[in-house]
Structure 1
Amino acid sequence: MIKTMYCFLIATNSIFATSSIMAKELDTRIYGPYLGQTPPGQTAKIFAPRILSTSKDREYTISFTPDLKELYFTRMDADTNKWWTMTYKQKNNRWYGSTLAPRVGRPTLSPDGNTLHLGNKYISRTDSGWSQIRSLGPMFDNKDWGIMRLSSSSSGTYILDDYKNGDLLRISEVKNGVRQAPKPLPAQINTGKWNAHPFIAPDDSYIIWDGERDGGYGDTDLYISFREPDGSWGKALNLGPTVNTDAGEAGGYMSPDGKYFFFNRTTSAGNGDIYWVDSNFIKVLKTQRYTKR
């Protein structure tokens, strides 16, 4: 078993390291930003149906580079039940898709687009593509932790989940140039069940995660906590009916231009797709949060 896992990691490392050479690209013949999709309004809709979001497979956890010319996500093949890390890249305004490697963690790009976080591991951009998979180090290699998604801000703050310890969310900041050990976020965030898949704004102004708690819409919902002026985290706010339904919503993500909010929705039938919606509702939530103080 150990030998099999070792061979799998070596193979995965190799694929990521040479993905720009090995991955066969599919020409979508689609042009324009956001895979040529018509932007959503205040009603969430499936992102790139029949292109990225398929009716057969399950797609999760999307992430874009700052120039919006690359995107990464995960897909579970319905025939094999295996998860893969996928990408679409824009060249001369035209989009090309490819499969990078078996999934290792939930891929989330750093704000500068040069690091792809993969749970407690990561890959870095190189002149020829991506580096081999690397560890984030002893602070994050704890075998008693179960990190699915790690999100980073421009200041280097990490937000991460841990499914092995009561669905706990942790934060790791950088102070005076030194990485701080991850510590649990406060009780208003680590409340209820299934807290997972956190996202932190590039400017550290808010965090978004999914979980199940009293007063929700049914299954897992998406929540937000805004950073207070004193640096603490505000109370958890349900993102409301713009996003949440009686299905399961998870994996929230804000586009680098701040215009659109992306998330996953899984129905009771097990179908999972990536949705997007105009992000203005989050600005409204923030305004309401402070005007009601």
Structure 2
Amino acid sequence: MIIHAPSIAAETDSGEMLGPEVVSTRHNETSATLTLDRAVLYFTRGDLASADTVILSAEWRAGRYQDVRVASFSGIWKDSEPSISPDGKRLYFVSNRPVTPGGSPLVATRGRLSFPGANLWYVERHGNGWGEPVHIGGEIARVPMVYNPVVAASGNLYFSSHREDSGPGYQIYVARPEGTGWSAPKQVTLGKGVQANHMDPAIDPRERFILFAGDEGDSAGSADIYIAFRTPSGEWGKPIRLPGDVNTMYLENAPTLGRAFGELFVTSMRIPGVVFPKQRQGIEGLEHRLDTPLNGSRNVWRFDISSLLREHGIQD
């Protein structure tokens, strides 16, 4: 079967909403990831408070996304942030599901607040479907606040977490393959360090650059998308706030890389500009406007950052 995969936006400053009314809706959608052939998109959908989130899939057919379904391994627990490995053989995700069958869901506590916890899990590809979820345990799972897994071609596993060395917020960590699992995680040093939040890593499969959500002092909103390139010494260079229309005055987070060179998915709460005085609407018009994707909910947008990558010597 020939898959006519969706084309990506032409330039960094010409983003497009992903699957309006199908993928991106009046609900919260985040964290898009594609199968190796780009035929199926996995993403998270939840309520506006993100209290309940589920992993969904959508198929690309006849020039559009359709046939949205709950993923075979999701729908019972608070699942989110799917990420398919570069070889397409594993899908990593976050869940509060019990580590052992019949156990209680994971709970996290910070200060006086308790909320659903988050550990990392994965499913492996079996034919056209996915196997049973496997828990990533060990030192990674010692804390119940582990988010946004993404794996490089080397097997290095990146994620964001709140740990003892994170400072007041969250930081990005990397764990390297070790035996049948991974090593103890090591914090990835980025920009302002623990003085700022660093979340939602998206790693180049060859680990030449990393994208993340945060504020390095020049954010236009509560969080923007930044990129840092690997230096010749192996360290990460100074983070660069992505140019063009990727970032807005509204929240942007959860960057993920697509399958095409320079393809970037970003979660955004952007809305059209409102000018006052505005045209008065009846209740029907008001409700119609509030039921559209651009109502301040989180949606998935697609951008092309290939020009920026080439400027920094990355050609493929």
- Quickly name the TM-score band, shorter chain normalised: 0.7 to 0.9
Query: Which segments of 5 or more consecutive residues in structure 1 lack a partner in the other structure?
Result: 1-30, 289-293
Segment drifting more, 129-138 vs 90-99: 90-99
1:252-285 deviation per Cα after TM superposition (whole angstroms, max 9, x unaligned): 1221121421101014864111001122243155
Q: Work out whether 1:272 is the aligned partner of 2:272.
A: no
Per-residue deviation, 1:187: 4.6
Pairing of 1:78-227 with structure 2 (within 5 A):
82-90=52-60, 96-100=67-71, 101-102=74-75, 103-119=78-94, 120-127=120-127, 129-142=129-142, 144-163=143-162, 165=166, 166-174=169-177, 179-188=182-191, 190-227=193-230
Distance 1:260 1:287 in 2: 17
Segment drifting more, 98-107 vs 174-183: 174-183
When residues 240 and 141 of structure 1 are mapped into structure 2, their CA distance, relative to the original with a 3 A threshold, is same
Tell me the residue number matched to 1:22. Answer: none
Distance 1:91 1:284 in 2: 31
Tell me the residue number matched to 2:10. Answer: 41
SS in 1 for 2:140: coil
SS in 2 for 1:139: helix
Q: Work out whether 1:76 is the aligned partner of 2:46.
A: yes
Tell me the residue number matched to 1:14. Answer: none
Q: Structure with the greater relative contact order (CA < 8 A, sep ≥ 6): 1 or 2?
A: 2
Residue 53 of structure 2 contacts residue 80 of structure 2 at CA under 8 Å; is this kept in 1?
no
1:26-73 deviation per Cα after TM superposition (whole angstroms, max 9, x unaligned): xxxxx8323xxx64222112112122111x111100001121112100
Distance 1:160 1:80 in 2: 19
Distance 1:92 1:275 in 2: 20
Structural RMSD (CA): 2.9
SS in 1 for 2:312: helix
When residues 251 and 51 of structure 1 are mapped into structure 2, their CA distance, relative to the original with a 3 A threshold, is same
Per-residue deviation, 1:191: 4.6
1:229-272 deviation per Cα after TM superposition (whole angstroms, max 9, x unaligned): 22221111111233111111111122112142110101486411
Distance 2:5 2:56 in 1: 18
Residue 197 of structure 1 contacts residue 209 of structure 1 at CA under 8 Å; is this kept in 2?
yes
Distance 1:239 1:260 in 2: 13
Distance 2:62 2:260 in 1: 20
SS in 2 for 1:140: helix
Residue 191 of structure 1 contacts residue 213 of structure 1 at CA under 8 Å; is this kept in 2?
no
1:155-210 deviation per Cα after TM superposition (whole angstroms, max 9, x unaligned): 10111101464211111224799843211111526354432111111111111110
User: TM-score, normalization: structure 2?
Assistant: 0.71
When residues 272 and 91 of structure 1 are mapped into structure 2, their CA distance, relative to the original with a 3 A threshold, is closer
Tell me the residue number matched to 1:32. Answer: 4
Which is helix-richer, 1 or 2?
A: 1
Q: How many aligned positions are there?
A: 253
Per-residue deviation, 1:213: 3.1
Residue 248 of structure 2 contacts residue 270 of structure 2 at CA under 8 Å; is this kept in 1?
no
When residues 285 and 182 of structure 1 are mapped into structure 2, their CA distance, relative to the original with a 3 A threshold, is farther
Distance 2:50 2:219 in 1: 33
User: TM-score, normalization: structure 1?
Assistant: 0.76
Distance 1:175 1:141 in 2: 15
Residue 160 of structure 1 contacts residue 169 of structure 1 at CA under 8 Å; is this kept in 2?
yes
Per-residue deviation, 1:80: 9.8
Tell me the residue number matched to 1:16. Answer: none
When residues 32 and 97 of structure 1 are mapped into structure 2, their CA distance, relative to the original with a 3 A threshold, is farther
Distance 2:124 2:241 in 1: 34
When residues 187 and 201 of structure 1 are mapped into structure 2, their CA distance, relative to the original with a 3 A threshold, is closer
Q: Work out whether 1:60 is the aligned partner of 2:22.
A: no
Per-residue deviation, 1:90: 4.8
Residue 152 of structure 2 contacts residue 206 of structure 2 at CA under 8 Å; is this kept in 1?
yes
When residues 244 and 72 of structure 1 are mapped into structure 2, their CA distance, relative to the original with a 3 A threshold, is same
Alignment counterpart, residue 308 of structure 2, candidates 258, 267, 282: 282
SS in 1 for 2:212: strand
Residue 66 of structure 1 contacts residue 257 of structure 1 at CA under 8 Å; is this kept in 2?
no
SS in 1 for 2:309: helix
